[in-house]
Amino acid sequence: MPAIEVVDLVKVYETYRKRPGLLGSLRGLFHRERIYTAAVNGISFSIDEGELVGFLGPNGAGKTTTLKVLSGILYPTGGDAKVLGHVPARRQKEYQKQFALVMGQKNQLWWDLPARESILLNKEIYEIPDGEFDRILGELSDLLEIGDILDFPVRKLSLGQRMKCELVAALIHNPKVLLLDEPTIGLDVVAQKNIRDFIRRYNREKKTTVLLTSHYMEDISQLCERVIILDAGRIIFDGRLDELIRTYAPQKVLTVTFAEGMPAESRFERYGELIEFGPYKAVMRVPRERIKQVAAQLLASDFPVDDILISEVAVDEVVREIFQTRAGKG
């Protein structure tokens, strides 16, 4: 049985258009123009137990809305969503005890007090027995290497330390499903890596089902084998990362390093699409079916080739191109 199952999910927001200026405000007292926006527009997917899936998409694509529906915060306008066999919108306590939500841009920790106090509050909310609480807290503290930062007021912690404490507070009840909404946002590269390492290890060791949204491609490419790409409330891709690259990147990247001298730029144009040309390096995009042939031709040529590297197009580039193409069509 899948851990998460979503069928034709729709979520429409109702808002008002506010006219500018004093006159607009006065008009707004008597008449408001209602606007309906479909943040999620008929999406379907299912996620198996223990899977770690990345949700990708530009701002307003519907990623966070989907997460909020799955956590029971929002009522769906249409369609069905089930997590661990529960309908999230019913907000059943049995379900709420089995999942956790972490939002990088919001916090559940009490600002003026040590994080430990907020975690103790969650102990009461989730009715965790003393022994189990101590064990899980010890495990998480070790995994996240947080030492004694739980005893410092939250406002005194760095963003990275705070996110670690948020994760402890969210995971203290040992959830089966973890919904992460941009958990690395605003963090420096070291802190991002620490959080990523933790998520990977936690997923492997606990077999927790993880659904992750992030603006950082690095998060997705490092953690997720499968990605779901959303755009304007619809799924435009659902599959493995390597499949995404094969589907949307018909070319590979070929990097040639020269030992000496510099051949003329124009001499490379016949091999592929030149995307970078420096004193000792040329980078080009070459159709997959021609890549071996081009590499062989370069080696056999009179260019002072020192090294040749063939790689896939970077995932973020692929995704950027998908959205740029779609925006262009739109």
Task: Provide the minimum distance between the beta carbon of 42 and another protein in the complex, in angstroms, as a whole number.
Answer: 19
Lay out the site mask for another protein across 4-43 (x = CB under 8 A, - = otherwise).
Answer: ---------xx-----------------------------
Q: Which of 60, 201, 214 has the alpha carbon at shortest distance from 142? A: 201
Q: Which amino acid is at 126?
A: Y
Stretch that binds another protein, among 96-104, 197-205, 277-285, 317-325 (CB under 8 A): 96-104
Cα 269 off chain centre by: 37
Q: Count the helix, strand and coil residues of the chain and give each as a percent rounded to the nearest 5.
A: 40, 30, 30
Task: Please give the residues from 162 up to 221 whose contact with another protein meets the rule CB under 8 A.
Answer: 181-182
Asked if residue 148 binds another protein (CB under 8 A), the reply is no
Stretch that binds another protein, among 66-74, 220-228, 239-247, 263-271 (CB under 8 A): 66-74
- At a CB cut-off of 8 Å and minimum separation 6, what does 84 contact? 3, 95, 98, 99, 176, 177
Q: How many residues bind another protein (CB under 8 A)?
A: 35
Judged by CB, which is closer to another protein: 195, or 284? 195
DSSP result, 205-237: HH--EEEEE-S-HHHHHHH-SEEEEEETTEEEE
Judged by CB, which is closer to another protein: 134, or 145? 134
Task: Provide the minimum distance between the beta carbon of 40 and another protein in the complex, in angstroms, as a whole number.
Answer: 13
Residues 143/202, Cβ–Cβ less than 8 Å: yes
Residues 150/113, Cβ–Cβ less than 8 Å: no
Asked if residue 97 binds another protein (CB under 8 A), the reply is yes
* Element holding 238 (H helix, E strand): strand 234-240
Task: Please give the residues from 102 up to 131 whose contact with another protein meets the rule CB under 8 A.
Answer: 103, 105-108, 110, 112-113, 117-118, 120-122, 124-127
Judged by CB, which is closer to another protein: 208, or 251? 208
Please provide residue 142's backbone torsions phi and psi, each rounded to the nearest 5 degrees: -65, -45
Stretch that binds another protein, among 26-34, 92-100, 236-244, 271-279 (CB under 8 A): 92-100
Lay out the site mask for another protein across 219-258 (x = CB under 8 A, - = otherwise).
Answer: ----------------------------------------
Kindly tell me which residue out of 17, 32, 90, 93 binds another protein, with binding defined by CB under 8 A: 93
Burial class (CB in 10 A: 0-12, 13-18, 19+), 26: exposed
Asked if residue 260 binds another protein (CB under 8 A), the reply is no
Task: Provide the minimum distance between the beta carbon of 314 and another protein in the complex, in angstroms, as a whole number.
Answer: 26
Lay out the site mask for another protein across 46-65 (x = CB under 8 A, - = otherwise).
Answer: ------------------x-
Measure the CA–CA gap between 326 and 330, rounded to whole angstroms: 6
The Cα-based distances of 309 to 25, 253, 276, 304, 315 in angstroms read: 61, 8, 14, 15, 17
Contacts with another protein by CB under 8 A lie at 13-14, 64, 68, 71-75, 91, 93, 96-97, 99, 101, 103, 105-108, 110, 112-113, 117-118, 120-122, 124-127, 153, 181-182
